[in-house]
Amino acid sequence: MEAATKQFRKRNAILACLQRTHNHPSAEMVYDMLRQEYPDISLATVYRNLARFKSQGLVNSVATVGGAERFDAVMAPHVHFICTGCDAVMDLPQMELPQSLRAEAERTSGCCVQDCRLTFTGLCERCKTRNP
């Protein structure tokens, strides 16, 4: 028996897709992934729901790579790496993001800090062997 409600089927699928993948996909990448299960899903729906999730604090935009925004459903601040060779966006879970940074930023700047992002760019393991 199908237990889950049918309401917001696609909306939930979009969020679930983000939560299960760690690709930090773009809207189009989400669209392509969901097309298999929902062949009639529209790209507009993906954009719409991503914007909604963002305003609800369920999803963050991590960076924009090659002109396209990349999303993440992991809201706890963590460290990212962006490969300039293949445009991959990945987590660096081994690295700590000092909690003190945010407070320090707020104190020294006088601004109201809402979010903190530490991002490295370079070549991933695969690309660094390809690109000498």
Partner DNA sequence: ATCTATTTGCAAATTATTATCATTTGCATC
Partner DNA sequence: GATGCAAATGATAATAATTTGCAAATAGAT
In the complex with a second copy, which residue's Cβ is closer, 10 or 48? 48
- Total residue length of the chain: 132
What's the closest the beta carbon of residue 87 comes to DNA, in angstroms? 10
Choose the one of DNA, a second copy, none that binds residue 40, judging by a C-beta under 5 to 8 angstroms depending on kind: DNA
**Of the residues 95, 99, 103, 130, which one makes contact with a second copy according to CB under 8 A:** 95
Largest CA distance in the chain: 57
Q: How far is CA 20 from the centre of its chain?
A: 11
Q: Name the one range near a second copy by CB under 8 A: 7-15, 24-32, 36-44, 78-86.
A: 78-86
3-state secondary structure of 19: helix
What's the closest the beta carbon of residue 80 comes to a second copy, in angstroms? 10
Separation of alpha carbons 100 and 104, rounded Å: 6
